[in-house]
Structure 1
Amino acid sequence: MTLPTTWTGGTVKFVEAEADAGEPYPFAPGNDKIRPDLVPPARCPDLSEVTSVDDLLPYFDSVARRPYSPGLWPAWDLKKGERVLLRVTNWHHPMVVEAARITLERFGCDYTIEVEEKGPIPKWEGHDEVEYYLARTPELARWIDEWEKIDDASTYDKIIMGYGGPILRERNIKIQRFPFITPEMVASEAHKFPWELLTAIDEWTWRAVGAARTVHITDPEGTDLRFTNHDDYWNADRTFYRREHVVRNYSSNVEYGETYLPGHIWGRPHFHIGQEDGEGVIAGTMNHIAPYPRMELHIKGSKITDIVGGGLFGEKLRRVMAETEDVQYPGFTTKGLMQWWEASIGTNPKVHRPRKGYAEGYNCGLYERTRSGIIHIGFGTVISADPEREAARQGLKVGHWHVHLNYPTYVAEGTPDGDVTVIENGRLKALDDPEIRKLAERFGDPDTLLSEDWIPAVPGLNLPGDYDRDYASDPLDFTFTELDLCRKWHPLFMRMIAGSNAHDHGGCH
């Protein structure tokens, strides 16, 4: 199936794309052992193969009916007669684009679909994130500039595009996301999950993070990190970030900068005020693109002082670090590009890693960061903030990169209620809150609704095996094998992991 050049009821434009070592670590897993005290059992959903556009329409219908939300979980709130611009690329599966078009048609929208030609769909490895985000960063800045112009011209009421990065808030035009690259990514319970529950989970998590005086983040792959959640970051009641800092960093997008992004809760403030004291180790094997060999980032004063391991990903980052070490970036109080600024929390328990065509084009690690309890660490320039855009105007190298924590524990220390565990071993504790469980009863069985559909399998953590030998040295190879097993031989995969997950309540489902 190929993308048509014309559609009845709307306009289609095809546009050209713009050019675009290891020390010992905490929690070291033992050989041929699993750690149920630190890592939840693996699981994955049993999904039917999508065979037609009709299979996708119920999921798009759910997204189209959700009240508008300016965040990462899609909520289009389509209305009859609205002027809607949908932007996709040739990397999007044609079946997905057609299902979205039919949805716009059914809701009576006056729609335009633009298809960006980006060339052949690339196959990624984790190290490709370095070049990807060096190119992606100026692209996102161009998006914001263009959205401002469209808002001024009142050309459209809504724009649906992309599935990451900042968006404009409090404008006449509404920006929403399109995290639908392949049919499998559409046909997910994540997109039928009740918006009322998503909102309640987001709010619970934001309140818990805001109440912390200090934060301790750990993960069984080796992360052990602390920082102070300074009073100066926040307004008086810690419900929003302090306006003076937000205006300095997001002068034309204050409403975006002062609060959380739905589906993406800031686990630490996304700006610098000169008091940053993050210290410890960040370790992992996954970024927004694909897995990479285990890497450690050593942090002091919220700055990366050493990068250990990481294979080619680590090599590239060390090169960028050396090139920028003596550069004073706007908005940073110390020199160098490699500053830690992000620890964002996903909140949807039904998000799962796509299996078919994984690590190809936009079907990559970016999507899975929105699963509840996953933290993604960000370091480099702060995405689309005023200081980053100023650095780009000065001709400086700009970009940021990531480490995913799939099984983190996040403790908000010193809250009025004492130390509060926000995430425990990858389980977002909002999902166990009595009020949220009571709300879930309105929509079905809370145990089913509030359980994670997908938890990755890792030898030496939640599968028997040696973590270093069987996984951390080449996690991409193991991940592809796991995804193939889960997609092609799901009943067999369930039996394979069942022996390791006897302590689980339901195992793989």
Structure 2
Amino acid sequence: MTINPYAGSPFSYATEPAVGPYSIVELMPGVRNLLEYTGLKAGERVLLLMEHTVDPVVVQAIAAAAAYRDADVRILSVPPFSPGGWDREASLHIETAAFREADLVISGTWWGEVHTAPLFFDQIKSRSSRFLSLHMTATAGALLTGGRLPAEVFYALLSRTLRQMSGARSIRVTSARGTDVTFSGLTFDPDPGAMRPGDWRPFPYGGANFWPADTEGVLMVEDSTVTGVPEESLRITLEGNLVRKIEGGAAAEQLRRYAPGGFYMRHGLIGLNPKVRVAGGNQFEREKHAGAFYCGIDGLTDGQPVTTGPGFAHCDCQVDRPTVLVDGELFIENGRLLMLDEPEIRQVAARFGPPDVILDDNPIMILPRRYTGGGAG
């Protein structure tokens, strides 16, 4: 059987299927979780920063839910953002001016804030707005699947992960396709709690994010935001936290062109959300799935890693079913997040419905509405 590797590599919201108007009903549990995650209050100014190609039903669902909470809602439709600073001279004066006046920004962009200086993390942190990013996830599919997981269940998974990982010396990631890479000198995002001014968060909530001081080994890329699913094996060799070699046909050449000055390992993420879809999902959804792993390499600036600003060549690389060892202890086994079976996690899930349903990591089995955190048991 011949498989076209590009069939599963959407490049913008324009390639996502549109949904029927009545689908808004089924999106509301995910949208409710989204707004509760942001801590939206009545009277707050909400900016929906949505690319022109986002499905109108998704925009309407978020806007209507915010308006129902008596927020002051504005919708700004903007051109798609370019990847990797390819259009660095583009004017973003309107976007940034509106962003500065909002209490809450909900951003539906494909390439996300990491690719543009005026909306990079340092700019977000310097403002009073709370910034929620639907980076490649302003879709009906994302709201219907990963968005339905109750936030309390995600926080329980994240808290349990950080207890084990925050003091770890190393994380080793291997895969059946040949990945064998070890991260050390780890700094983790803390459990964020309620959103505060200057915060940036992704949605659907997804995983435990970390920054390594050192990365050694080989990463076999199964999908990436630059290449999609490569038609040949794409092999990245890392030493001293720098990318030393990229091998693998056309995809390797595409990746080298994306950052001619070279790459370094910027961050990694352990996926924790069992309801995030895999089949039909773009890479930025799949990387949040419970038991998945991804890492982001970024462009060097004048030959050096500079983490205070965009490298303008950020590329997220996916490993769908890894085995992950934390200081030698098994944490994920062939894509199965072992903590999903732990009593303390099941106890939290039981507040919303049967733990076997809430924590089932088959994302094709969509979480029934009554188990999504709305209070109807």
Q: Percent identity?
A: 24
1:85 and 1:448 map into 2 onto residues whose CA distance is 35
**Which residue of the partner structure matches residue 40 of structure 1?**
none
Within the candidate set 200, 209, 213, 2:165 is matched to 209
2:212 equivalent to 1:298 = no
2:29 equivalent to 1:59 = yes
284 and 61 in structure 1: CA distance in 2 versus 1, 3 angstrom threshold: closer
One-letter amino acid of the counterpart of residue 186, structure 1? L
Question: How far did residue 225 of structure 1 move?
Answer: 1.3
**What is the DSSP-based 3-state SS (H/G/I as helix, E as strand, rest coil) of the residue aligned with 1:85?**
strand
2:34–2:147: 8 Å Cα contact kept in structure 1?
no
1:212 and 1:177 map into 2 onto residues whose CA distance is 29
Q: How does 1:312-351 map to 2 (within 5 A)?
A: 312-319=250-257, 323-324=260-261, 337-351=262-276
2:102 and 2:357 map into 1 onto residues whose CA distance is 39
**Which residue of the partner structure matches residue 172 of structure 1?**
128
2:210 and 2:34 map into 1 onto residues whose CA distance is 29
1:208–1:422: 8 Å Cα contact kept in structure 2?
no
2:296 equivalent to 1:378 = yes
One-letter amino acid of the counterpart of residue 428, structure 1? L
**Which residue of the partner structure matches residue 96 of structure 2?**
146
Question: How far did residue 367 of structure 1 move?
Answer: 2.2
Name the structure, 1 or 2, with higher relative contact order (CA <8 Å, separation 6+).
Answer: 1
The alignment yields a C-alpha RMSD, in angstroms, of 3.8
Choose 1 or 2 for highest CA Rg. 1
2:50 equivalent to 1:88 = yes
1:50–1:187: 8 Å Cα contact kept in structure 2?
no
353 and 301 in structure 1: CA distance in 2 versus 1, 3 angstrom threshold: same
Question: How far did residue 112 of structure 1 move?
Answer: 0.6
Task: Could you tell me which runs of 5 or more consecutive residues in structure 2 were left unpaired when the two chains were aligned.
Answer: 1-18, 115-119, 192-197, 366-377
One-letter amino acid of the counterpart of residue 195, structure 1? A
Question: How far did residue 59 of structure 1 move?
Answer: 2.5
Question: How far did residue 354 of structure 1 move?
Answer: 6.1
**Which residue of the partner structure matches residue 109 of structure 1?**
71
**Which residue of the partner structure matches residue 196 of structure 1?**
152
Deviations 1:378-424 (A, max 9, x none): 112489x993566x7xxxx73121320101111111xxxxx432222
Within the candidate set 423, 427, 445, 2:354 is matched to 445
1:137 and 1:203 map into 2 onto residues whose CA distance is 38
**Which residue of the partner structure matches residue 185 of structure 1?**
142
Q: How does 1:252-401 map to 2 (within 5 A)?
A: 263-269=206-212, 272=213, 276=214, 278-288=215-225, 290-293=228-231, 294-309=233-248, 311-319=249-257, 323-324=260-261, 337-353=262-278, 355=280, 364-381=282-299, 387=306, 398-401=312-315
2:209–2:267: 8 Å Cα contact kept in structure 1?
yes
146 and 313 in structure 1: CA distance in 2 versus 1, 3 angstrom threshold: same
Report the number of matched residues: 324
Deviations 1:253-290 (A, max 9, x none): 7x879xxx963422443xx5xxx3x2211002211363
Q: How does 1:467-506 map to 2 (within 5 A)?
A: none
Deviations 1:90-144 (A, max 9, x none): 211112222222212212111110011349xxxxxxxxxxx833438998x979x
Task: Give the TM-score normalised by the residue count of structure 2.
Answer: 0.73
2:210 and 2:307 map into 1 onto residues whose CA distance is 20
Structure whose residues are more often strand by fraction: 2
412 and 138 in structure 1: CA distance in 2 versus 1, 3 angstrom threshold: farther
One-letter amino acid of the counterpart of residue 96, structure 2? E
**Which residue of the partner structure matches residue 407 of structure 1?**
321
Question: How far did residue 185 of structure 1 move?
Answer: 2.9
One-letter amino acid of the counterpart of residue 408, structure 1? P
1:354 and 1:114 map into 2 onto residues whose CA distance is 31
Task: Give the TM-score normalised by the residue count of structure 1.
Answer: 0.55
Task: Could you tell me which runs of 5 or more consecutive residues in structure 1 were left unpaired when the two chains were aligned.
Answer: 1-48, 67-74, 120-130, 241-252, 325-336, 359-363, 414-418, 456-485, 487-509
1:318 and 1:444 map into 2 onto residues whose CA distance is 48
